[in-house]
């Protein structure tokens, strides 16, 4: 039986009163609007956690967020793309709504996380990390919940993962997850 990373992350989060939890109808509307299918792992995680932040400012995009900075919608994805369109061209890293464009699903400061469409161009599959400052794209071989789980527990042996863990959870001084309505990364 495969390990249930969504349940493990939800246990770590220990959310008592989740805010802005999307329902199936919200995901269905989003997928119809974008013409893309999100991984069930990602949808389940955001549905359980709702809006809030992992550690100190790592936000997952949510179709029900009251903040335009965290809301997952066609309009917000286009708004996100505008200031980094030059990076899209420079790195050959297409962003939604470009053909085969990557979809922003989370961020902390200038570290963005995307889901890349599979070869059909319809199913979002591969998790991608874009370091905007270093202009570096790193494909990750994890589901979203597995990535969060393994970075937090320090089970990814690469140095970048340990640096990211310390950065997100401030060397263990930040709560694993804080539920927060209308989370806004620019606050």
Per-position DSSP letters for 56-90, written without gaps between them: TTEEE-BTT-SSTTTB-SHHHHHHHHGGGHHHHHH
Tokens representing 100 are 């085969």
Question: pLDDT at residue 151 above 50?
Answer: yes
- The whole-number pLDDT of residue 181 equals 86
- The whole-number pLDDT of residue 187 equals 46
- The whole-number pLDDT of residue 183 equals 56
- In the chain, the percentage of residues whose pLDDT exceeds 90 is 94
- Please check whether residue 179 lies inside any domain of the structure: no
- Please check whether residue 54 lies inside any domain of the structure: yes
Pairwise CA distance, residues 37 & 117, whole Å = 9
CA dihedral 136, 140, 143, 147 (to 10 degrees): -80
pTM of the predicted protein model: 0.94
Pairwise CA distance, residues 12 & 57, whole Å = 16
- Please check whether residue 186 lies inside any domain of the structure: no
Q: Which residues contact residue 182 at a Cβ distance below 8 angstroms, ignoring those fewer than 6 apart?
A: 20, 51, 65, 66, 67, 70
- Please check whether residue 51 lies inside any domain of the structure: yes
- The whole-number pLDDT of residue 184 equals 55
Query: From residue 100, how far is each of 79, 104, 163 by CA, in Å?
Result: 18, 13, 30
- 33-44 pLDDT, tens digit per residue, is 999 999 999 999
Question: pLDDT at residue 99 above 70?
Answer: yes
Q: Which helix (H) or strand (E) holds 113?
A: strand 111-117
- 47-89 pLDDT, tens digit per residue, is 999 999 999 999 999 999 999 999 999 999 999 999 999 999 9
What does the pLDDT average to over 120-142? 96
What does the pLDDT average to over 134-142? 96
- Please check whether residue 175 lies inside any domain of the structure: no
Q: What domain range is 149 assigned to? A: 5-13+20-170
- Please check whether residue 185 lies inside any domain of the structure: no
- The whole-number pLDDT of residue 182 equals 72
- Please check whether residue 58 lies inside any domain of the structure: yes
- The whole-number pLDDT of residue 148 equals 98
- Mean of the per-residue pLDDT values of the chain: 95
- The whole-number pLDDT of residue 185 equals 54
- Please check whether residue 177 lies inside any domain of the structure: no
Place of tokens 């359980």: 48
Number of structural domains (the chain) is: 1
Pairwise CA distance, residues 72 & 90, whole Å = 25
- The whole-number pLDDT of residue 63 equals 98
Q: How far is CA 149 from the centre of its chain?
A: 13
| CATH number of the domain residue 35 falls in | 3.40.1580.10
């Amino acid at each position: 039986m495969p390990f249930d990373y969504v349940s493990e992350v939800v246990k770590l989060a220990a959310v008592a009163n989740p805010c802005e939890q999307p329902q199936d109808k919200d995901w269905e509307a989003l997928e119809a609007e974008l013409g893309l299918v999100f991984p069930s792992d990602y949808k389940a995680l955001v549905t359980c956690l709702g809006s809030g932040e992992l550690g100190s400012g790592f936000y997952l995009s949510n179709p029900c967020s009251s903040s335009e900075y965290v809301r997952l919608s066609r309009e917000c994805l286009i708004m996100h793309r505008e200031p980094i369109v030059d990076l899209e061209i420079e790195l050959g890293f297409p962003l939604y709504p470009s053909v085969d464009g990557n979809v922003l699903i989370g961020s902390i400061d200038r570290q963005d996380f995307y889901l890349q469409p599979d070869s059909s161009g319809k199913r979002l599959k591969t998790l991608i990390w874009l370091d905007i400052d270093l202009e570096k794209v790193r494909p990750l071989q994890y589901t979203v919940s597995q990535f969060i789980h393994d970075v937090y527990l320090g089970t990814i042996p690469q140095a970048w993962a340990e640096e990211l863990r310390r950065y997100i959870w401030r060397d263990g001084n930040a709560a694993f997850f804080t539920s927060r309505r209308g989370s806004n990364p620019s606050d």
